[in-house]
Amino acid sequence: MTKTETVGWIGTGVMGSSMCQHLLNNGHKVAVFNRTRSKAEPLVKMGAEWCDTPADVAEKSRIIFSIVGYPKDVRQVFLGESGILSKAEAGSCIVDMTTSTPALAVHIHNKAQEMEIDSIDAPVSGGDTGAREGKLAIMAGGKPEAFERVRPYFELMGENIKLMGGPGKGQHTKMCNQTLIASTMIGVVESLLYAHKAGMDMEKVISVIGKGAASSWSINNLGPRIARGDFDPGFFIKHFVKDMRIALDEARRMEVTLPGLALAEQFYTSAMAMGFENLGTQGLYKVLERMNGG
């Protein structure tokens, strides 16, 4: 890793913007693209170079990161007419940090290999706070030598960084992560709604149960937001529903039954039907609150 070469960055949403800032703050030159230019302006003001398309980013960079919304966006960014692979040079390395489908990660890897380009799928966990503080968990899939090439960049964004196996294995690990969080969040919102209905101070309850056997990242990080009535997105409900549906599709393909995940997906689909899709995942509380008369 040298700070003289330009790093490409595509996607400047809730998490991507903070992740890219860590590169800039550590002296790296960055070429940036986002579908909505205004969301990239803070990075441009910090010194990032604006590019009009993902292909333009690829022309300026040998290592290119992306973190976008949905698998269809990943496909467009990498494989579209003005996508990364239309202009990326042999010897480059592409890294998708979006939570996407394992099959698409494998497909992009195979296309990249035909062009002598390395490809890593590296979804993350930790939400807006983890992205802002550089404490994300990063779960990667790909070749070991490609992983080692980008590890120094990962270390600017996260703390728990692991190569989980070959192409697609980072995405499979993220599905394990989302499956666990999905059921845990049901417990978090039910617990706090119970506390509220019993006339308890929710933050006081969290301070006790968050240090015992019920401890989890969700109760300790998202519980206080619920207690304060803060439902702003650290991670959008609509993106979490996308993740759960990917996991359920993969489970069906493997002939695995995941009833807890299926229940959580139903709850979150209800949240979207109620118009809460742009709230953070802690917005599930609002669904149960409405079901219980406010």
Structure tokens at 114: 């035909």
Between CA 125 and CA 128 the distance in angstroms is 9
Token match 């809460």: residue? Answer: 276
Domains of the chain: 6-166 (3.40.50.720), 172-291 (1.10.1040.10)
| CA 179 to each of CA 131, 156, 240, 248: distance values in angstroms, whole numbers, following the listed order | 21, 27, 10, 9
* E strand residue ranges, 43-106: 49-50, 63-66, 93-96
pLDDT at site 230: 97
pTM: 0.94
Whether 89 contacts 33, CB under 8 Å: no
Other residues' Cβ atoms within 10 Å of the Cβ of residue 25: 12
How big is the chain, counted in residues? 294
Q: Quick one: CA dihedral 80, 278, 242, 64, positive or negative?
A: positive
Four-CA torsion 253, 258, 259, 265, nearest 10 degrees: -80
pLDDT score recorded for residue 293: 82
Which bin fits 48, alpha (ψ -120 to 50), beta or left (φ > 0)?
A: beta
In the prediction, which pLDDT does 5 show?
Answer: 83
Q: Are 13 and 69 in contact (CB under 8 A)?
A: yes
Per-residue pLDDT of the chain (294 residues; tens, 9 = 90+): 667 789 999 999 989 999 999 999 999 999 999 999 999 999 999 999 999 999 999 999 999 999 999 999 999 999 999 999 999 999 999 999 999 999 999 999 999 999 999 999 999 999 999 999 999 999 999 999 999 999 999 999 999 999 999 999 999 999 999 999 999 999 999 999 999 999 999 999 999 999 999 999 999 999 999 999 999 998 999 999 999 999 999 999 999 999 999 999 999 999 999 999 999 999 999 999 999 987
List the catalytic residues.
Answer: 174
Q: Residue 1 has what pLDDT?
A: 64
